[in-house]
Structure formats: C-alpha cells, structure tokens
Amino acid sequence: MRIALFATCLGDTLFPEAVKSTAVLLARLGHDVVFPPQQTCCGQMHVNTGYQREPVPLVRNFAEQFGDPSIEAVVVPSGSCAGSVRHQHQDVAERYGDAALRAGVATVRAKTYELSEFLVDVLGVTDVGAYFPHRVTYHPTCHSLRMLRVGEKPLRLLRAVEGIDLVELPEADVCCGFGGTFAVKNAETSAAMLRDKMGHITGTGAEVCTAGDSSCLMHIAGGLSRIRAGTRTLHLAQILASTRTVPHVLTEAAR
C-alpha cells in the first residue's frame, strides 16, 4: 500500500524519533512510505485557540499535499492531529473555504488515520513483531480516546509486544492537563492536573509511560523530568518499532 506519512509540525520538529519509528514500522510491514515534502501543520493549535480564519491556508495545504489519488492512506502518529483533520478541517472549510477546498478536505479526511487505527482497522495487524522487555503503562490521550474512539486498539498492539510488562494506569481516561494553549493560559490548573497524572504513572512503577500523542507526552515528560521521577515517556510507535534485531535502548538521552 502506498502510505503518506503526516509527521505533524511538533513531531517533525521536536520528536522526530516517534515519526522515524512510524516510518520504519510501516516499511517493515511491507508498505511503500512516502513523505510529501511540502507538508507542515494541521492547524489544530489555531482552531483550538479560537482562530478559524488563520488556518485556512494550512488546511488547504494539507488537502493539496495529501490529495494525490496515488496516496491510499495518510498515517499520523498523533491522535489529536488526526482528530483535527477528521473533525476540524471540515468546519474551517465550511466557514471560510470554497467548494474546491470543501471537496478536497472531504477526500483527504476519509483516508486519514491515527497509527493504531491504521494498524488494527486497515491493515488488520495487532502483532507487529515488536520486542520491548520493559515495564510500560499506557495513557490514552483525550483526543485518541474521545475524538477518534481508538478504544482498545493501542492496548491490543502493546499486549502483543514480546517481553513487555504492561501495567494498567489508574484513572487512565482522565486528561493529563495539556490541552495545547490551555497549558499556557491556565498553567496552574494544568499543572494541578499533571500532578495527579504523574502520581498515577509513578505509582505503577513503570519504566515507561507511552501514548499515541507526542504533545501530551511532552507535557507529561516535562513534569516527570522536573520532579526527577525515573519514569520515561516514549511514543507508542517507538515501542512498536523496537525489535530483537534493532531494540530500542532505554537511555536518559535517547529521545
């Protein structure tokens, strides 16, 4: 299958390892992975902060970059960016776009998937042949959970990982407090939410907390680093891309 990778602006710039793992994983599963080089950002930050006019060119660019009919699927290693493409692009296009943009958005949205959805629903795989001998807990990010309804899919993928010790996270479905600009505009409330989330994570004794969104993980990792908790964060793709041949080595510096 010819798959286009949408790296997301945050993944591309700050968390390239998560995107590399996604690319490698998909290639290993026998697919042709392409990276439309003119891609940038889905515009979610704009929309969520209250700006629907400003992201119009971003939505247009997204539809153009991924609209190519030879692209069979667009895979995103982020629940919230996939959610934005599926649910917000249409709103922006309805409000400020022309007919062409509305049509373009509809086409692209129908073939855009978050990574775990793509693996389980489209490819029908739950065992990707990964090997990760560590104690891991999984945080279902809000947009994966409630906008995309990925449900058990990430957990099914994780359970199939060889050597993993997967521990349940108490109150997993409660928001970590990130919420994009919420963490800046209401920094103290966000920090209070983060404290409780970190308490639950460290309470599991996990070495690694994983999730399908680099943004939420950035928030959680930022807090864990500040309190010098030993727990690390890794994107789901990084665990799934770790194999016996090329294992992911847990070091403080690797990101």
Partner 1 sequence: MSSPTGPAANGTFLGMPAVPPRSPYGTGHLRGERTFPRAAHDELDNEQLRRNLGKATHSIRAKRLAVTGELPDWEQLRDAGSAIKTDTMNRLPELLEQLERKVTERGGTVHWARDGVEANEIVTRLVRDTGSDEILKVKSMATQEIGLNEHLESQGIAALETDLAELIVQLADDRPSHILVPAIHRNRDEIREIFLRHIPGVDPALDADPARLAAAARTFLREKFMTTKVAVSGANFGIAETGTLAVVESEGNGRMCLTLPQTLITVMGIEKVLPRFEDLEVFLQLLPRSSTGERMNPYTSLWTGVTPGDGPQEFHLVLLDNGRTAALADRIGRAALNCIRCSACLNVCPVYERTGGHAYGSTYPGPIGAVLTPQLAGMHGAKDDPNSSLPYASSLCGACFDACPVKIDIPSLLVELRHQHTEQSGTTAEKLAMKAAATVMKRPGLFTTAQKAAGLGRVLAGRDGTLSRLPPPLNGWSDSRDTPAPPRQSFRSWFASAEGAAAMRAAAAEGARNTDDAPQEDS
Q: Give the residue with the Cβ less far from partner 1, 118 or 166.
A: 118
| Shortest distance (Å) from residue 221 CB to partner 1 | 7
Q: Give the residue with the Cβ less far from partner 1, 60 or 166.
A: 60
* 104 class by beta-carbon count within 10 Å (0-12 exposed, 13-18 middle, 19+ buried): buried
Direct distance between the N- and C-terminal alpha carbons of the chain, in angstroms, rounded to an integer = 29
| Residues 129-148 close enough to bind partner 1 by CB under 8 A | 129, 142-143, 145-147
Given candidates 3, 4, 19, 240, which one binds partner 1 under the rule CB under 8 A?
Answer: 19
Site string for partner 1, 158-197 (x = CB under 8 A): ---------------xxx-xxxxxxxxxxxxxxxxxx---
Phi and psi for 136 in degrees, rounded to 5? -130, 140
Q: How many chain residues are in contact with partner 1, going by CB under 8 A?
A: 84
Instruction: Compute CA distances 139 → 165, 179, 185, 187, 202, whole Å.
Output: 15, 15, 23, 21, 12
| Residues 46-75 close enough to bind partner 1 by CB under 8 A | 46-55, 57-58, 60-61
| Residues 216-255 close enough to bind partner 1 by CB under 8 A | 218-219, 221-223, 225-226, 245, 252-253, 255
Could you tell me the strand order of the sheet in which 2-5 lies? 32-34, 2-5, 73-76, 112-114
Q: Give the residue with the Cβ less far from partner 1, 35 or 133.
A: 35
Instruction: Compute CA distances 153 → 45, 144, 158, 159, 236, whole Å.
Output: 26, 10, 9, 10, 11
Given candidates 3, 23, 105, 208, which one binds partner 1 under the rule CB under 8 A?
Answer: 23
Q: How far apart are CA 78 and CA 233, in angstroms?
A: 15
| Shortest distance (Å) from residue 247 CB to partner 1 | 14
| Shortest distance (Å) from residue 169 CB to partner 1 | 15
Given candidates 3, 7, 73, 158, which one binds partner 1 under the rule CB under 8 A?
Answer: 7
CB atoms within 10 A of CB 141: 30
Phi and psi for 134 in degrees, rounded to 5? -140, 165
Q: Does the footprint of partner 1 cover residue 209 (CB under 8 A)?
A: no
